[in-house]
Structure formats: structure tokens, C-alpha cells
């Protein structure tokens, strides 16, 4: 058993209701914490669903979980008296975080989630600011077409010419409507109830089109290799933000020259999306830090360094992960892995939860040792 200061804190959670689920999310995202398992008799408890996404062992038997793990901290996210009695005979050296303390930690986690959501929205607004310069030019072009052809229509040209002008005006208007719709979709704050079946390939096309408008693409080739994918049940705005951040980051890295390749496929219960550029690549010493908040290699004023951090946070919220591969001079490839199936909904965090806090959500566990 490694009890050195650098070793992760070993934790088990008893109770996988909404409170236990929120604590699991909180602990699982901390580098210095290892969640050894979570117990609940209810097979549909949200914490068990989250744990399966994260690869955390689950069980319906709290006693069995305590017996087979060498936990340093036992979190009792229930108010079940039988669990309190069980924990009186806790393993030697383990400490217990009781229901009241767990509730306090749940509230702190709720506050952390609210700050995270605010950070995501703030970064989204910064991205919109970057998009606006390119999009204003994109809107001006069809506006000039509409105004010019409207002027011509005043002269009452032949009927066939009128039809041609009207078609051009309609096409230009639809282009503007699409641009405005994309901006509105992206700008919306994600809400818990806004769950939908998200078409990943379609969302990637939308992200590419939006990023294309905001970046100089003098000599950029965009290649897409889309596989047949299941839909993802989630929040459209969040998924769009993930891919828009990755595509924009790739285009900016290439500075108007190179090839952007977007590939999708499904494998082993995951949707895999890879965004690859042919830019200068990421220096070896920067590679471990690219997902850190406020880390950026861009010039001052070119971005706050939150884009990739937000990508990782959103993807983690779906029980997925994002990896990067890069060599200096050989571009970079970011791969997003999102779990598929009926359990692929975003993991409900404290700020989203309409359910009771840990001490009131307890009647989830049976008497110790029962199933």
C-alpha cells in the first residue's frame, strides 16, 4: 500500500443517488484522488451510470465494497442508519466522511459546477467575438447581392430576369439566415432540459462552416471522412462548442495554409472524432499542458487559453475523454471519444440536479450486505 504524500487518496462512495453521483464527478476529476468504487442497491442510480462511463467499479453490496478495497476515505452519501452502523466497523486506518460533511462537499461541488458553467459561457462569448470579424464579411456579401438585385427589379426587367434576381435574393437571404441561426445556436447557454439526439457528423459540418467564416483559408484544404455513427443524446450547444473549438484551434495553427482532416468512426461503444491539422505541431514540453486553463501559445489578445480546457471539461461531462498527439513540425491530432448507447447523456452535475442532496437521497441502500 502506497501512503506516500504523492500517492492518490483512495476513496469509496456509499450511495449513488444524485448526491453520490455529484461527489463521484467531483472526486474523479481530481488528479490526487482515486475512486476505488461506489455502492448502491438501485441499478438505475445516476452514480452507477456515471461510474460505468468512468470505469469506476460498482456494486450493490456496501459491505463487500469495503471488504475488498483499501480505502483511506469512506464517503457516506446516505442517511441510512444501517450504513452508519456498518461504518462503525470500518477498515483499520480508514476515515469516514458522514452524511452532513458529504452534504457540505456536495454544496461545494455545486458551486464549482456553477463556476465551470459560467466559465464555459464566458469562453463561448469570447469565441463569438473572434467569429464576428469573419462573419460580418460573410454577411455583407449576400447583403450586397440582395440590395443590388433589388435595385435592378425597380426597372421591371423581363419576367425571366425577375425570376433569376428573385432566386439570387432568396439564396442570399438563406445564407444570412443560416449564419445567424448558427450564431444563435452557439450562443445559447446550455440547459439541463435541452437534451436531444445530436448528429455528430452534422454538428461537425456546422462547426467547420462556422470556423471557415472566421478564419483566413487562402490555401487550406478541408477533408472529411465520416463514418456511420449512432446519435448522441446530449446538448447540441455543448457538442457544437467542443468541435468548433477544436476546428478553430486547428485552422489558427495552420495560419491559412495546410490541410484540415476531420474523421469520425465508432468503435467499442464509443464515437471517435479526430481533428488533425498540418500546422507546426506542439512542442514536447507544452504537450502535457495544452488542456490546462489559461495555457496558450498564441499572441496576447488572440485568446484566453480556455478553448481546449473547455473541450476537455465538456467531454468529461459525457463520460468521454480527449487525447492529443503531436510532433513538432508534423501538425497535431485531437481525438474525442464519446460513449454511445442509451447511457450517453451528459453526466448530471450538482448545478443541474433537480433531485435532493445526499442526506435526503439516501434510502437507496439496503441493510449492509443485502442485494
**Residue 333 pLDDT > 90:** yes
Across 99-108, 144-153, 290-299, 361-370, the highest mean pLDDT is recorded for 99-108
The pLDDT of residue 234 is above 70:
yes
361: pLDDT confidence band, cut at 50, 70 and 90?
A: very low
Per residue in 141-179, pLDDT tens?
777 777 677 666 666 666 776 777 777 777 777 767 776
pLDDT beyond 70 at 41? yes
User: Which three three-digit cell numbers place residue 323?
Assistant: 487525447
pLDDT band at 226 (very low <50, low <70, confident <90, very high): very high
pLDDT mean over 265-278: 93
The contacts of residue 205 (CB under 8 Å, 6+ apart) are: 224
- The confidence score (pLDDT) of residue 183 equals 65
| pLDDT for the residue 130 | 62
In the chain, the percentage of residues whose pLDDT exceeds 70 is 68
The runs of H, that is alpha helices, within 188-235 are: 200-214
Beta bridge partners of 223: 261
Among the listed residues 88, 100, 92, 82, the one whose alpha carbon sits nearest the alpha carbon of residue 41: 82
The answer to which of 25-29, 56-60, 221-225, 342-346 has the lowest mean pLDDT is: 342-346
Query: Which residues neighbour 72 within 8 Å (Cβ) at sequence distance 6 or greater?
Result: 9, 10, 11, 93, 94, 95
pLDDT exceeds cutoff 90 at 26: no
Residues 78 and 99: beta-carbon distance below 8 Å: yes
Q: What is the mean pLDDT of the chain?
A: 77
Do residues 28 and 54 lie in contact, with contact meaning Cβ atoms separated by under 8 Å? yes
User: Which strands, in side-by-side order, build the sheet including 270-277?
Assistant: 219-225, 257-267, 270-277, 332-339, 321-326
Which residues, 6+ apart, have CB-to-CB distance to 22 below 8 Å?
A: 106, 109, 110, 113, 348, 349, 350, 353
Cα(206)–Cα(131) distance, rounded to whole angstroms? 13
Grid cell at residue 140 = 455583407
Q: Out of 279-283, 318-322, 349-353, pick the least confident.
A: 349-353
Amino acid at each position: 500500500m502506497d501512503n506516500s504524500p504523492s500517492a492518490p487518496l483512495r476513496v469509496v462512495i456509499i450511495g449513488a443517488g444524485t448526491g453520490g453521483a455529484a461527489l463521484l464527478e467531483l472526486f474523479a476529476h481530481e488528479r490526487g484522488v482515486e475512486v476505488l468504487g461506489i455502492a448502491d442497491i438501485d441499478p438505475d442510480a445516476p452514480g452507477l451510470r456515471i461510474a460505468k462511463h468512468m470505469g469506476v467499479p460498482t456494486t450493490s453490496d456496501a459491505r463487500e465494497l469495503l471488504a475488498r478495497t483499501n480505502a483511506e476515505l469512506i464517503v457516506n452519501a446516505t442517511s441510512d442508519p444501517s450504513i452508519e452502523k456498518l461504518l462503525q466497523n470500518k477498515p483499520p486506518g480508514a476515515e469516514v466522511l458522514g452524511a452532513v460533511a458529504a452534504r457540505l462537499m456536495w454544496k461545494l461541488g455545486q458551486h464549482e459546477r456553477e463556476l465551470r458553467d459560467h466559465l464555459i459561457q464566458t469562453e463561448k462569448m469570447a469565441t463569438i467575438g473572434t467569429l464576428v470579424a469573419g462573419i460580418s464579411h460573410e454577411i455583407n456579401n449576400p447583403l450586397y447581392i440582395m440590395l443590388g438585385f433589388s435595385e435592378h427589379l425597380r426597372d421591371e426587367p423581363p419576367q425571366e430576369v425577375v425570376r433569376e434576381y428573385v432566386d439570387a435574393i432568396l439564396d442570399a437571404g438563406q445564407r444570412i439566415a443560416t449564419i445567424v441561426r448558427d450564431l444563435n445556436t452557439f450562443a445559447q447557454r446550455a440547459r439541463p432540459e435541452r437534451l436531444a439526439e445530436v448528429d455528430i457528423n452534422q454538428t461537425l459540418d456546422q462547426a467547420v462552416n462556422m470556423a471557415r467564416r472566421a478564419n483566413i483559408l487562402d490555401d487550406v484544404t478541408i477533408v472529411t471522412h465520416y463514418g456511420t455513427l449512432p446519435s448522441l443524446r446530449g446538448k447540441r450547444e455543448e457538442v457544437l462548442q467542443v468541435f468548433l473549438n477544436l476546428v478553430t484551434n486547428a485552422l489558427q495553427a495552420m495560419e491559412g495554409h495546410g490541410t484540415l482532416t476531420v474523421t469520425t468512426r465508432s468503435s467499442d461503444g464509443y464515437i471517435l472524432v479526430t481533428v488533425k491539422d498540418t500546422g507546426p505541431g506542439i512542442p514536447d514540453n507544452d504537450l502535457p499542458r495544452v488542456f490546462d486553463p489559461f495555457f496558450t501559445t498564441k499572441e496576447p489578445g488572440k485568446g484566453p487559453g480556455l478553448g481546449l480546457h473547455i473541450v476537455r471539461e465538456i467531454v468529461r461531462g459525457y463520460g468521454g475523454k480527449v487525447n492529443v498527439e503531436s510532433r513538432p513540425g508534423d501538425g497535431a491530432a485531437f481525438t474525442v471519444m464519446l460513449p454511445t448507447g442509451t447511457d450517453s447523456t451528459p453526466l448530471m452535475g450538482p448545478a443541474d440536479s433537480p433531485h435532493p442532496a445526499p442526506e435526503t437521497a439516501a434510502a437507496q441502500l439496503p441493510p449492509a450486505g443485502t442485494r
